[in-house]
């Protein structure tokens, strides 16, 4: 059952501090009802992903396989520079990809980090889940693992992504050896980009996947929350799944995927669980990342429970993609703070 999502949930710092949620003594409402409605919820760049995942689930495809086929649409799209092929590179001009996934029915997970030369890290993460006794492979080892399963090493940097990197490199500072681009040439703000997708089918089986090219121009080897089980995404087949996009370091500090699922376990609706996790993020944010008490970054959570109820919340207004079993659409997230003028 889809939930109405308010864009004005828990507004303002005073509301953040004072907001409390009455918690039931049991999560039986979530755990004991057998009827589930299929649902797929994703970050805003995942509208095609939720549509594809739902199509496959309704045809009987396993939840994790459906989710990965969904996010692969963006991983293979050179025009989406937040994930996969065409993703924005690190400061050396090299695209390094991260992904993780969890399969609720088997209670297994897999992940890769700093993977180079492979367009679809979500598929490699699934191979780690299916064929190894490990959870996370990184760097050169992750690439060798992928190649051993028949993946082909390819150039991930597209001409567009390369030009964006060259423009950034030329404008790092006025005292370096690079010429500044003309003032009238647009300089891309430092972007972050990820796709998280959480799904549940009519049987109540749940899975999740998160994939990203990470923070643009990052220090080589940096991994954010996306490949971290319990941060970038988390699934418990008895409860539901959740994941995030935005500043990965802030999410890692609160184990946001896990914490949001635990909120649903305690009986919170998905949107409320997302908001509660965001409140923890704000409390743990260091002063250097706050201005007038508000985070200088954005972070969004997406969640679905075993019944097919879904919700999303962000620090600042944003949108998310969802398919409720009937239609796929973009919706507004609940949020903690209004954007400043």
Just list the catalytic residues.
194
Q: Which of 65, 74, 64 is nearest to 97 (CA)?
A: 74
CB 241 within 8 A of CB 109: no
200's CB contacts (< 8 A; 6+ apart) are 36, 37, 38, 39, 40, 63, 206, 240, 241, 304, 305, 306, 307, 308
SS3 content of the chain, % helix, strand, coil (to 5): 30, 25, 45
Buried/exposed code over 107-126 (b: 16+ C-beta within 10 A; e: otherwise): ebbbbbbbbbbbbbbbbbbb
CA distance 319 to 43: 7
Tokens, residue 108: 């297994």
Question: What is the residue whose two structure tokens read 């994790």?
Answer: 64
Tokens, residue 172: 């790092």
DSSP structure string for 139-166: HHHHHHHHHHTT--------HHHHHHHH
Question: What is the residue whose two structure tokens read 């939930």?
Answer: 3
In 10 A of CB 228, how many CB atoms?
A: 25
Buried/exposed code over 61-78 (b: 16+ C-beta within 10 A; e: otherwise): ebbbebbbbbbbbbbebe
Q: Which of 121, 133, 26 is nearest to 76 (CA)?
A: 121
Structural element, H or E, at residue 62: none
Tokens, residue 221: 């080897």
* Adjacent-strand bridge partners of 244: 301
- Measured in whole angstroms, the distance separating CA 261 from the mean position of its chain's CA atoms is 14
């Amino acid at each position: 059952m889809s939930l109405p999502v308010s864009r004005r949930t828990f507004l303002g710092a005073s509301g953040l501090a004072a907001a409390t949620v009455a918690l039931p003594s049991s999560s039986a409402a979530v755990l004991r009802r057998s009827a589930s409605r299929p649902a797929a919820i994703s970050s805003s760049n995942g509208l095609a992903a939720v549509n594809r995942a739902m199509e496959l689930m309704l045809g009987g495809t396993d939840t994790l396989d459906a989710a990965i086929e969904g996010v692969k649409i963006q991983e293979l799209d050179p025009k989406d520079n937040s994930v996969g092929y065409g993703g924005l590179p690190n400061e050396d001009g090299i695209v390094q990809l991260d992904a993780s996934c969890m399969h609720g029915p088997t209670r297994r997970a897999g992940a890769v980090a700093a993977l180079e030369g492979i367009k679809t890290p979500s598929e490699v993460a699934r191979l780690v889940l299916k064929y190894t006794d490990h959870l996370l492979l990184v760097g050169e080892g992750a690439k060798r693992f992928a190649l051993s399963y028949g993946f082909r090493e390819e150039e991930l940097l597209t001409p567009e992504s390369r030009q964006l990197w060259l423009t950034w490199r030329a404008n790092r500072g006025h005292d370096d050896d690079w010429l500044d681009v003309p003032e009238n040439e647009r300089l891309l703000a430092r972007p972050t980009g990820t796709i998280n997708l959480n799904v549940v089918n009519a049987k109540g089986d749940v899975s999740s996947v998160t994939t990203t090219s990470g923070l643009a121009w990052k220090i080589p080897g940096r991994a954010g929350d996306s490949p971290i089980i319990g941060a970038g995404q988390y699934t418990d087949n008895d409860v539901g799944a959740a994941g995030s996009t935005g500043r990965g370091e802030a999410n890692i500090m609160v184990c946001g995927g896990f914490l949001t699922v635990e909120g649903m376990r305690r009986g919170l609706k998905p949107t409320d669980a997302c908001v509660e996790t965001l409140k923890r993020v704000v409390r743990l944010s260091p002063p250097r990342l706050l201005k007038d008490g508000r985070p200088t970054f954005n972070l969004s959570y997406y969640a679905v429970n075993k019944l097919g109820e879904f919700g999303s919340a962000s620090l600042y207004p944003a949108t998310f993609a969802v398919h409720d079993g009937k239609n796929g659409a973009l919706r507004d997230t609940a949020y903690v703070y209004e954007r400043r003028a």
